[in-house]
């Protein structure tokens, strides 16, 4: 998370909201009785990352198509190069332009909305399929990479979008 903050902010710039997000994450992790599973840790990171992107003005739009601005309804596609979602109509119409788009499993955007607004304590009790957790992680990673390209050098990242395509 510190690496992402470093890539998304200017050196020496201070932002109380960014500090509070990092503090919230560290305080929460400090109170956990056991180390979270990899999936659960990704869920926590997704929540803080989404809120960090919101705070810095890079909010992931979860209600409208990035291309046509219409309200989203399933099936929904994620377009990493645009850092956003594409509706089925735009995907059909512009398939050649959106070759990098990945179809999201149903309920992914709904879970992203929930993760974005939920307290970490609530997320620690959430039961959700690994399938959806991976999809949420891949979308958040893709959006963060859109705004902070060096993020792809993370050791654990290796092709989360390719994993999403296999789901």
Tell me the domain boundaries of the chain: 2-166
Helix-helix angle 108-117:130-147, to 10 degrees: 70
CATH fourth-level superfamily of 2-166: Recombination protein O, C-terminal domain (1.20.1440.120)
Give tens-digit pLDDT for 118-139. Answer: 999 999 999 999 999 999 999 9
Tokens 């998370």 correspond to 1
Give tens-digit pLDDT for 8-34. Answer: 887 777 888 989 998 999 999 899 888
pTM of the model: 0.81
Residue 138 to residue 161: CA distance in whole angstroms: 6
123: which residues sit within 8 A by CB, 6+ positions away? 43, 44, 47, 115
């Amino acid at each position: 998370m510190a690496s992402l903050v470093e890539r998304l902010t200017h050196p020496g710039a201070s932002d109380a909201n960014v500090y509070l997000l990092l503090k919230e994450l560290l305080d929460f992790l400090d109170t956990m009785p056991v180390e979270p599973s990899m999936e659960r840790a990704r869920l926590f990171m997704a929540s803080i990352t989404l809120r960090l992107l919101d705070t810095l003005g890079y909010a992931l739009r979860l209600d409208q198509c990035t291309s046509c601005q219409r309200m989203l309804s399933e099936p929904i596609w994620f377009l990493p190069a645009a850092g956003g979602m594409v509706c089925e109509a735009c995907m059909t119409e512009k398939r050649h332009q959106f070759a990098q788009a990945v179809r999201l499993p149903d309920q992914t955007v709904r879970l992203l909305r929930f993760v974005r607004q939920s307290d970490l304590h609530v997320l620690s009790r959430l039961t959700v399929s690994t399938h959806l957790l991976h999809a949420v992680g891949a979308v958040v990673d893709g959006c963060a990479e859109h705004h902070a390209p060096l993020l792809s050098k993370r050791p654990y990242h290796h092709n989360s979008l390719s994993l999403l395509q296999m789901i």
